[in-house]
Amino acid sequence: MNIKLIFRVLGFLSLVVGIAMLLALIVSLIYGEHDTKAFLFSSGVAAATGGIILLLTKNASRDIGKREGFIIVSLSWIIFSFFGSLPYILSGSIPNFTDAFFETISGFTTTGSSILSDIEALPHGILFWRSLTQWLGGMGIIVLSLAILPVFGIGGMQLFMAEVPGPTPDKISPRIRQTAKTLWIIYLGFTITETLLLWVGGMSFYDAICHSFTTMATGGFSTKQASIGHWDSPFIQYVIVLFMFFAGTNFTLSYIAIKGKFGRVLKDEEFKYYFLFVAGFTILISIGLIFTTSLGIEQAFRDALFQVVSIITTTGFATADYLLWQPILTILIFVLFFFGGSAGSTGGGIKIMRIVILFKNSYYELRRMIHPNAVIPVKFNKHSVDAKIITNVLAFFMLYFVIFGFSTVIFTFIEPDLPSAMGAVATSLGNIGPGLGNVGPAENFAHVAPAGKWFLSFLMLLGRLELFTVLVLFSPTFWKE
């Protein structure tokens, strides 16, 4: 185990967090609010810690192995969240450390669950930082570091794989730095476009940037207590739906689309199913809303579409409270908690590709029963899916549900109401944001006991790194030899 190198990389990442805080510092200076000192100090602490570690580990070997990769990635997210919580605490916005850490890791992991009950009372710099944590976490800060700096030698691939796990990682370029750079450029391009559209649509420029950050990251933090429901503008809501949908699409596919090869995009199986799931659930819920509420057709469609896209992409923005709908419609939304965006998107959850592979395997198994001697492999995008990937998807799925089940059982000690416990666990593990019961879209997580907040924080991290990267650290084999 190359401990010196682990420290070195973590030190380097602390430096990056410190630099990122300077952006929030600028916003704070522009608005001239009381949070300037907090950013100055937080940035200084993060950067200085990083700098000192870098100096002390100058002669570390640059060879990052598989195991170092898992440790670095898991720890880096905890360290970001630690440094990231400093501005909240020092500015007095969230004085309690547990709450500040929860809010920060909920940001970095793009979950978007909040403990704030009066968001608009907070200074602009702080809310900008809150949105920025999601944007950095969405595409991944390690991927960003890989893109902009030549600091990681040959181990970059290990880190990339551990931070962007996915069932079948597709690389835009054989060179990992080029891939990371392309991903971030597309991400940035989408963010700028959305900002301009929201600004044109009537948001302030500040709100437009903040919401573009949290849309493209499928994060869901808003600068308003009423989330997107604050703006009663169909244009703004449709723009956000569109960009949530982009954010939940594989970025490699967006790259192909930008290069003009739309045919390949439309032929992509994961995209096709992603679109079908969104369309299917939107139609079902629209019909339900038309028959059970007094909403007009357009409003019912928009409410259904917005909540469906927001939940399936694991963003978590709200324009309506799905807990006030008919139980069956609420349950349909809860079913979507177990979908998630596409592989290679910023969306969390189980991911469309895994779900489709699982469904196909089940369906093919029926054919295998009829023709037991034929070899019937699962096909995806016209290629046979390797048995290794299927067992990996199986393992992921099983772990996901076991963790969901056992965490719910554990969480009922903290929150005895079963739907609330199920909702809190599912939303944290899927990096969604709102849950059910007393952690629904109109509520927040402030009332959850401190132990519960730490537990959910852990689930968010587990979900963001797609289980294996974190769980592998708890496996005895990992530490052997």
Kindly list the residues in this chain that would bind a second copy in the complex (CB under 8 A). Answer: 66-67, 70, 327-328, 331-332, 335, 358-359, 361-370, 372, 387-388, 390-399, 401-402, 405, 408-409, 412-413, 416, 418-419, 468, 471-472, 475, 477-478
Nearer to a second copy, 173 or 475 (CB): 475
Nearer to a second copy, 261 or 367 (CB): 367
Q: How far is the CB of 174 from a second copy (least distance, A)?
A: 18
Nearer to a second copy, 16 or 393 (CB): 393
Nearer to a second copy, 122 or 289 (CB): 289
Q: How far is the CB of 289 from a second copy (least distance, A)?
A: 16
Q: How far is the CB of 111 from a second copy (least distance, A)?
A: 23
Nearer to a second copy, 148 or 418 (CB): 418
CB 310 within 8 A of CB 244: yes
Token pair 């910023």 is at which residue? 346
The residues, ordered by sequence, that sit 6+ positions from 95 with a Cβ below 8 Å of its Cβ are: 89
Nearer to a second copy, 246 or 400 (CB): 400
Token pair 């605490």 is at which residue? 89
Query: How many CB atoms within 10 Å of residue 291?
Result: 9
Q: How far is the CB of 183 from a second copy (least distance, A)?
A: 23
Q: How far is the CB of 71 from a second copy (least distance, A)?
A: 12
Nearer to a second copy, 299 or 412 (CB): 412
Nearer to a second copy, 138 or 155 (CB): 155
Nearer to a second copy, 94 or 470 (CB): 470
- The 3-class secondary structure across the chain, one letter per residue, is CCHHHHHHHHHHHHHHHHHHHHHHHHHHHHHCCCCHHHHHHHHHHHHHHHHHHHHHCCCCCCCCCHHHHHHHHHHHHHHHHHHHHHHHHHCCCCCCHHHHHHHHHHHHCCCCCCCCCCHHHCCHHHHHHHHHHHHHHHHCHHHHHHHHCCCCCCCHHHHHHHHCCCCCCCCCCCCHHHHHHHHHHHHHHHHHHHHHHHHHCCCCHHHHHHHHHHHHCCCCCCCCCCHHHHCCCHHHHHHHHHHHHHHCCCHHHHHHHHCCCHHHHHHCHHHHHHHHHHHHHHHHHHHHHHHHCCCCHHHHHHHHHHHHHHHHCCCCCCCCCHHHCCHHHHHHHHHHCCCCCCCCCCCCCCCHHHHHHHHHHHHHHHHHHHCCCCCCCCEECCEECCHHHHHHHHHHHHHHHHHHHHHHHHHCCCCCCHHHHHHHHHHHHCCCCCCCHHHCCCCCCCCCCHHHHHHHHHHHHHHHCCCHHHHHHHCHHHHCC
Nearer to a second copy, 149 or 409 (CB): 409
Q: How far is the CB of 195 from a second copy (least distance, A)?
A: 38
Q: How far is the CB of 331 from a second copy (least distance, A)?
A: 6
Q: Which of 338, 337, 351 is nearest to 435 (CA)?
A: 337
Q: How far is the CB of 20 from a second copy (least distance, A)?
A: 30
Q: How far is the CB of 11 from a second copy (least distance, A)?
A: 25
Q: How far is the CB of 1 from a second copy (least distance, A)?
A: 12
